[in-house]
Amino acid sequence: MTLLTVETSDHVTTLTLNRPDTMNPLGAKGDGDAFAAACNAINADMDVRCVILTGAGRAFSAGGDIKAMKQRTGTFGGTAPEISDGYRNNIHKVLRALYSLRVPLIAAVNGVAMGGGFEIALACDLIIAADTATFALPEPRVGLAALAGGLHRLPRQIGQKQAMGMILTGRRVAAAEGRELGFVNEVVPASELMDAARRWAAQICELSPMSIRASKEAVYKGLDEASLAAAMTGQMRYPAMSAMLRSEDFKEGPMAFAQKRPPQWKGR
């Protein structure tokens, strides 16, 4: 079954993980290519201003595809499958594709987000969770580790001690606690999840696409700088920031404000 379904409406593209019978596992052959193709198409479409990523069925994603691991290695070692470099590279290709998106990415977590599934949610800019959602990095329970970004993104997003509390126990965290810890932006009833995600997306789409792209790029590139001063100095050299300063939107915003009318964003 195809991993992703893609639907675009009102400047928003919705990507749905579509293997509900097996809780949307990741890592089967072609998964990385599917994400790369979808994200490349989104980046090429200047009309898309936001992306929502969700899962079909009762799970966002239960994590790595155990069957794909077995097929790639042909053997199991102990209680967990042996993981080949090819399998790991495929998972990382999914993460790189999501990280390449120039527009905001919202995870609408509809259920279980375990291991690689949680790592994908952490790679998104915002997480909106159903009240039935659960999150965990349980890899140590089967002799593995969260090597697709979880060990690094979680401490950066919620702080070292809170992150270590999850990582070193592998415990499950409900959506409400996820909001308290700081990696979930909003918790809503499961029946209202997609409406809530679209509400956040609509608020983003009200703003200048050029400003949003520049702001997203500056935040993430700035976090890689050695100091706040370096981040503030370096932001003027970032491609999306330079594009914003040269854009029609950069002129339209102040003009619309002065004329007391809604801005007509061009996204260029």
User: Is 139 known to be catalytic?
Assistant: yes
Give whole-number Cα distances, 221 to 96, 105, 216, 217, in Å: 15, 16, 9, 6
Of 82, 139, 177, 217, the active-site residue reads: 139
Query: Considering 119, 180, 206, 217, which one is annotated as catalytic?
Result: 119
* Calpha distance 94→39 (Å, rounded): 10
What phi and psi values does residue 18 have, to the nearest 5 degrees? -125, 50
Cα–Cα nearest to 147, from 242, 63, 246, 267: 63
Would you list the DSSP string of 85-102? HHHHHHHHHHHHHHHT-S
Other Cβ atoms less than 10 A from the Cβ of 10: the count is 11
Q: Which two tokens stand for residue 48?
A: 């898309």
Active-site residue, 186 included: no
Quote the CA–CA distance of 108 and 130 in Å, as a whole number: 8
Paired strand residues for 50: 12
> CB-based contacts of 238: which residues, under 8 Å, 6+ apart?
214, 217, 218, 221
CB 69 within 8 A of CB 27: yes
| Sheet architecture: strand order including 4-9 | 4-9, 12-17, 50-55, 105-109, 126-130, 186-188
Catalytic sites, residue numbers: 119, 139
